[in-house]
Chains A and B, each alone.
Chain A
Amino acid sequence: DAGVTQSPTHLIKTRGQHVTLRCSPISGHKSVSWYQQVLGQGPQFIFQYYEKEERGRGNFPDRFSARQFPNYSSELNVNALLLGDSALYLCASSLRRTEAFFGQGTRLTVV
């Protein structure tokens, strides 16, 4: 069975640009969450979606937005990129809330 897949794996963007990151959850998982992980730190929660509805939002500015599609895949959008947005962006899907399955992440570099 395929795990959580994210695309692209790496991305370089310029300050001020916007970026769209994509995530496909494990088949049958209806919950998708997004996390930002800065090097050397733990992941920070950005959003959680369940059945296409936003169920949780972390402490991130409005430049960050997300959505979930009918097939439960998800997109994370970040507008007006800042240098500080450089990080590994992780997507996780879950069937039960007690166990999250993470993808390999998208490494975003803002220059």
Chain B
Amino acid sequence: GQSLEQPSEVTAVEGAIVQINCTYQTSGFYGLSWYQQHDGGAPTFLSYNALDGLEETGRFSSFLSRSDSYGYLLLQELQMKDSASYFCAVLYAGNMLTFGGGTRLMVKP
């Protein structure tokens, strides 16, 4: 079957760096995506890794290692507005995204 595991909750302080891990037990996917969702809001795209390695977009970076079945999202210079749920998702044929259960990030002052 397909499954993606993420920590359910992470807490960090403003200005810090936090890493949200995602491990998966699946294969045959195109890449690993990350989405942010604020309470009551829509998921918004953050990043996509098609290949192994690090992708950097501003304060956010994402990493994928297919050999280790592992990826992570790195958030730097945390801001209060980063408090949200973060989902990793693998992309399959047919534009099908399979999401993990999400990690609730709480940023404290």
Residues of chain A whose beta carbon lies under 8 Å from any beta carbon of chain B: 4, 31, 33, 35, 40-45, 48, 50, 55-56, 58, 90, 94, 97-105
Contacts and interface: CB of A to CB of B under 8 A. Distances in A.
Contacts, number: 64
Interface in B34-69: 35, 41-45, 48, 50
Contacts of B97: 33, 35, 43, 45, 100
Contact of B87 (A42, A97, A104): A42
Most A CB atoms within 10 A — which of B33, B35, B91, B95? Answer: B95
Interface residue range, chain B: 20 to 34
Contact of B94 (A41, A56, A98): A56
Contacts of B99: 42-44
